[in-house]
Structure 1
Amino acid sequence: MNAKQPEPRQSRRITDVGTLKAFGHPLRLKIYSTLRVAGPSTASQLAGQVDEAVSLVSYHLRKLAEHGLIEEAETQSEDARERWWQAAQETLSFRHEDFKDTPEGAAAHTAVVRTLIAQREEQYETYLAQQEAWGAEWRKAADQSDFLARLNPAELTRLNAEIHALVKTYEAQGKATEAAGDTEGRENVAVHLASFPFRI
């Protein structure tokens, strides 16, 4: 087995249209999300998880790799012919201000955000369809809330930063506790945040 791979770098901000378009393909988003959650995987494993042909998944893996969004991972089996992949960073971000200056960039940004929102909605719908199977503790813990605040842009920026920092604290705490051997009752938890101005 190969030497241990370095951990993916913590974060990356996408600022070029080519990479954003490569990332924003619906199947590539699913593949990338699956790698983030499941960890290092082969094309055949990913194909089973996203319900697509191995050849198609392999093609999209190569496209993601071309833009540095994923990278080869340490071999996880005795079969040296298998190619393993992992996300190249823990988190990706992309901001409207980096793409607003061209119609192509603005359209690509909007399209990717819409695809992400649709996939997040699908993820939540899956939970709703399966919530009885999760049991009472998880049903009580899960939340769907809506808040209304009167803020200016600086206050909204600060609010978002504070929420992100809080979630990161829990992420780090969960990783550390699990690394110490406390895995009892732990599951993947999705936390989705959308904050934006509106008028009526």
Structure 2
Amino acid sequence: MSSKETRAITDLGTLKAFAHPLRVKLYRALYVARTATASQLADQVGEAVSLVSYHLRKLAEHGLIEEAEPQGEDGRERWWRPASESLTVRHEDVKDAPEKLAAQGALTRILLEQRVDLYRRHLDESDSWNDEWHSASFESEYLPRLNASELAELQVELDTLIHKYQARGRAAEAAGDTQGRENVAVHVYGFPFRV
């Protein structure tokens, strides 16, 4: 993986390229797998390899993914990986142009829809998880009364905490400790609202 820890998406072209439902799905699948081929990803998302290859090339054109070292003996297969540890699209980076704001809004809606679908799938498949996973899983809603700077501080603290656990899990897997490890989705939103 590239040494870039976080990539801020600030240009309209990259925002538009990423704001496509299949590309977001492919990016998520690749992020979880860390490295994969178009055929492996096609199996995961249920699309044709040729279509997946096209969308992977588009993601690569905008620097969101990059080629990885081949993992198998078939030198003809192209392997991909995320080009950075994470992606961000911040309001302050796109507020200068209505087109960027619209593209950010489209991307955010796609992400929300896919996150809801992922959670619905979890609920539909809940019988397949054992009691330990049922006890460990959670859903919460907190409604603190904060100002904007406190909300920003909360986001930084949550980010730090999640990265700590992410690094711990990756280090354990790199050391061969894979027993009982699963992909875990943690979706956090922090936004103001009025009643």
Per the TM superposition, whether the score is higher than 0.5 is yes
What's the offset of the Cα at 1:150? 0.6
- Residue 170 (1) aligns with residue 162 (2): no
Within 5 Å, give how 1:8-87 maps onto structure 2.
Answer: 9-87=4-82
Moved over 4 A (4+): none
Counterparts of 2:176 and 2:138 in 1: how far apart (Å)? 27
**Number of the residue aligned with 1:145:** 140
Q: Secondary structure at the match of 1:85?
A: strand
1:63 partner amino acid: K
Counterparts of 2:67 and 2:149 in 1: how far apart (Å)? 40
Quote the sequence identity (%). Answer: 58
Structure 1: 5+ residue stretches without partners? 1-5
Q: Secondary structure at the match of 1:191?
A: coil
**Number of the residue aligned with 1:121:** 116
2:51 partner amino acid: L
Q: Secondary structure at the match of 1:92?
A: strand
Q: Secondary structure at the match of 1:97?
A: helix
- TM-score under structure 2 length normalisation: 0.96
How big is the alpha-carbon RMSD for the aligned residues of Structure 1 and Structure 2?
1.2
Counterparts of 2:30 and 2:3 in 1: how far apart (Å)? 12
Structure 2: 5+ residue stretches without partners? none
**Counterpart selection for 1:98 from 71, 90, 93:** 93
